[in-house]
Amino acid sequence: MIKTPICDLLGIEYPIFQGGMAWIADASLAAAVSNGGGLGLIAAMNADANWLREQIHAVRGLTDKPFGVNVMLMSPFADEVAKVVAEERVPVVVTGAGNPSKYMKDWLAAGIRVIPVVASVAMAKLIARHGASAVIAEGGESGGHVGDLTTLVLVPQVVDAVDVPVIAAGGIGDGRGVAAAFMLGAQGVQLGTRFLTANECNVHPNYKQKVLKAKDLSTMVTGKRLGHPVRSLRNPYTLNYAKSEYSSMPDEELEALGGGALRRAAVEGDEKNGCFLAGQIAAVVNREQPAAEIIRELFSEAETVLKGAGTWVK
């Protein structure tokens, strides 16, 4: 049985978080993951306060286990979303895509455990000083908004730099990845792409199929020109965006190309005009399963791997 201090800190059975995937991670998926013994997250993404409040109430109706909300800091609604999580006293807030320091005081005063995603050592140190309970070190193998460093390189450096527990994210999709994260010094893992194909995930079926069919080179990163690189599955939309990015198209037009693309993928399953965010590890995700089964399988595989880890040492 793999148990780490993060389990006691948050009151969860397995040290695993479900990634806060925009337009995908709703109350249904979050509750399934929490009921399976992990930490389920609702993605506040670009939604407003009312939508989030409804989702928080929905998840509370589906589970009595701890859950969290992922606050995407680039969202135009970040301020109102930050207020809702404090008012609702959600057990855990995970932040992404920026620096959450300005919200930390209010969240900590509301008794919330704040666990920011970081993509650098500097951000990890800063946020630990502001009272984060743990940090999620996310490598650029992940889907969605990506930093420059890989998980293999980022995680041990963050582990060395801060005194709080580190959760590894990016490029983890099976028990081998979970085992590797623990070997790097992480106390837990966060997986997005693997949970996207959970039975309880309400994303459009076309999206699940695209992840299930993905191969090693199926993802690409676009958006560097505007400063917000995102990893997604290669399709007519991303190829056109990439071409435009290297053309003389004005920034405003390029920005307009991005608008609504995540929704078209996740809600409409629009294969041509949607942006299907996914991590590189989509290549090893090959079946739909209940979330609880995913969690059990990941940790049983990880235990086997860790027990055999000394095999080659003579």
User: Could you tell me whether strands 144-145 and 230-233 are parallel, antiparallel, or unpaired per DSSP bridges?
Assistant: antiparallel
User: Could you tell me whether strands 219-222 and 230-233 are parallel, antiparallel, or unpaired per DSSP bridges?
Assistant: antiparallel
Q: Does 26 bind ligand TUI (CB under 6 A)?
A: no
**Is the distance from CB of 108 to CB of 55 less than 8 angstroms?**
no
Tokens 């008012």, located at residue: 87
Among 59, 82, 117, 128, which residue sits at the site for ligand TUI (rule: CB under 6 A)?
Answer: 117
Among 63, 99, 157, 199, which residue sits at the site for ligand TUI (rule: CB under 6 A)?
Answer: 99
Which C-beta is closer to ligand TUI: that of 103 or that of 299? Answer: 103
By CB under 6 A, what part of segment 250-289 binds ligand TUI? 277
Q: Does 225 bind ligand TUI (CB under 6 A)?
A: no
Nearest-CB residue for ligand TUI:
144
**DSSP per-residue string spanning 44-106:** -TT--HHHHHHHHHHHHHH-SS-EEEEEETTSTTHHHHHHHHHHTT-SEEEEESS--HHHHHH
Q: Does 139 bind ligand TUI (CB under 6 A)?
A: no
| Residue range at the interface with ligand TUI (CB under 6 A); choices 32-40, 85-93, 142-150, 292-300 | 142-150
| Residue range at the interface with ligand TUI (CB under 6 A); choices 50-58, 59-67, 92-100, 175-183 | 92-100
Which C-beta is closer to ligand TUI: that of 22 or that of 305? Answer: 22
Which C-beta is closer to ligand TUI: that of 38 or that of 143? Answer: 143
Nearest distance from C-beta of residue 300 to ligand TUI, angstroms: 28
By CB under 6 A, what part of segment 46-85 binds ligand TUI? 72, 74
Backbone angles phi, psi at 274, to 5 degrees: -100, 155
Among 230, 282, 291, 294, which residue sits at the site for ligand TUI (rule: CB under 6 A)?
Answer: 230
DSSP element (H, E) containing 117: strand 113-118
**DSSP per-residue string spanning 30-61:** HHHHHHTTSBEEEE-TT--HHHHHHHHHHHHH
**DSSP per-residue string spanning 146-167:** --SS-HHHHHHHHHHH-SS-EE
Nearest distance from C-beta of residue 147 to ligand TUI, angstroms: 5
Does residue 171 come out as left (phi exceeding 0), alpha (psi in the -120 to 50 range) or beta?
Answer: left
Q: How far apart are CA 122 and CA 130, in angstroms?
A: 13
| Residue range at the interface with ligand TUI (CB under 6 A); choices 9-17, 143-151, 239-247, 305-313 | 143-151
Structure tokens at 128: 């630990």
Which C-beta is closer to ligand TUI: that of 7 or that of 21? Answer: 21
Total binding residues toward ligand TUI, as defined by CB under 6 A: 18
Site residues (CB under 6 A) for ligand TUI?
22, 72, 74, 96-99, 117-119, 123, 138, 144-145, 147, 228, 230, 277
